[in-house]
Amino acid sequence: MLNAYRDLFAVPGTRLLVTAGLAARAPRAMVGLGIVGMVCQRTGNYALAGALCCCYSLSVAAAGPLVARAVDRHGQRRAARATTAAGSGALVALLLCSALGAPLWTQFPWAVVAGVLPNVGGMMRARWQARYREGPRLHTAFSMESVADEVSFVIGPILALSLATQVFPEAGVAVALLCTLAGTWVVTARRGTEPPARPVEGAHRGSLLVRRPGLSVLVLVFCAFGAVFGAIEVITVAFATAHGHRAAASFALAGFGVTSGTAGLVMGACRGRFLTPRHLTVGLGVLALSLVPLLVVGCLPVLVAELLLTGLFISPNVIIANALVERIVPQSRLNEGLTWLLSGTSLGVSLGSLVGGLAVDRVGTPTAYAVPVAFGLGSALIAAAGCRLLGRAVRRPSRPCAGTAPDRAAVPDRAAVTDAEEDVPSPAAR
């Protein structure tokens, strides 16, 4: 298994690029809970904290695809640095409003503007795609990016809350701000790996990429997929609190992410197998089945074991979905396509948190775990219903077998195809 990653990291500069990309992911993992910790420490108002965090999350979901589109059109260095500067400025203003005791309503506009921070995970995947085009190295790189996402979302929330409660209220958001500034600057400074900017011309200038049939299916799937984890987080905290061990919820959710990251590393060593719509449908079905035992969990040790088991089926599904997006959208709009997937997940997480919280209030735990079970089943059913459509969307001309170098004379370079050629809608889209 290690040979695949050793081969990837043998390329000079890869370690620095991956480290910077991991740091630049901090806002998506830390800012939400950092805001909650900051407001709660300053005011004790949990309703305000939740509303402010929700505004930020919705802004990320809405602005993400637009920012990603600008990055694809104008280049990562130019567009990502501009949006990072705008989002970072908004976070600085948010921190000052909190620290100086400004009226609470003044924090909401800055939380909304902070949502324009770019999706560095999508930018990194676009760089790998531009470097390796196809084949086993690209699959390993995509898998590594999924693991980096898991690492950031395991460590980030715990770090954000710990800094807000143990150092000073604004510390969690401040550290996320420093990480994104440093990480994004280093990533965009690596000009040799940056994919070329490809402005969209003609009739496709205003087209929405999410209208592509295959991508729209994946976004719907990942709305339900994200709702699973938004609900699990809320219900697990309530479950641990009801059993007198609220702090144990963090460790249970961290273990959830650890097994997911491990499964992602193993998936990355499989050299590009299991990356079809059918495998995604099966993977989501297995995930839904793995959630069913949550309905009868009676104690924390059993809950931890169950979450460890469920974690095994997270990263593999994310890796398959990212690979399908790479095969559905034009190379010149890959970052935008991946960000649509992330926006769907973000909306799902918000929905799952809301419904999960309502279920805890109405029926208590563990009955409330029926919410993530239902969303998990929903994601599998949507994938099954759209499997044939996805299969048509991802079809490409024959390519060299994985593990062999593509014949440049036989396989056209996708980077050379213009958006006007690639964005022709399928018959289903018409």
Question: In the predicted model, is pLDDT for residue 164 greater than 50?
Answer: yes
Cα 62 from Cα 113, distance rounded (Å): 11
Per DSSP, 394 falls in state T
**DSSP result, 55-112:** HHHHHHHHHHHHHHHHHHHH-HHHHHHHHHHHHHHHHHHHHHHHHTT--GGGHHHHHH
pLDDT tens per residue, range 57-67: 888 888 888 88
Q: Which domains does the chain have, with CATH numbers?
A: 14-196 (1.20.1250.20), 209-396 (1.20.1250.20)
CB 51 within 8 A of CB 174: no
Cα 157 from Cα 160, distance rounded (Å): 5
Percent pLDDT > 90 in the chain is 15
pLDDT tens per residue, range 125-146: 888 877 776 666 777 787 788 7
Apex CA 321: angle with CA 157 and CA 66, to 5°? 70
CA nearest to 117, candidates 98, 138, 94, 99: 94
Cα 80 from Cα 201, distance rounded (Å): 21
Rg (CA), the chain: 21
3-class state of residue 407 by DSSP: coil
pLDDT tens per residue, range 1-32: 566 667 677 677 778 888 888 888 878 778 88
Quickly state the pLDDT bin for 247 (edges 50, 70, 90): low
Q: What is the pLDDT of residue 423?
A: 41
**DSSP result, 235-285:** HHHHHHHHTT-TTHHHHHHHHHHHHHHHHHHHHHTTTT-S-SHHHHHHHHH
pTM of the predicted protein model: 0.74
Cα 55 from Cα 47, distance rounded (Å): 12
Q: What is the pLDDT of residue 369?
A: 92
Average pLDDT of the segment spanning 247-276: 73
Phi-psi region of 417 (alpha: psi -120 to 50; beta: other; left: phi over 0): beta
CB 124 within 8 A of CB 22: no
Cα 34 from Cα 76, distance rounded (Å): 27
Average pLDDT of the segment spanning 225-246: 82
- Looking at every residue in the chain, the average pLDDT score rounds to 78
Question: In the predicted model, is pLDDT for residue 292 greater than 60?
Answer: yes
CA nearest to 287, candidates 220, 384, 380, 383: 380
Q: What is the pLDDT of residue 274?
A: 63
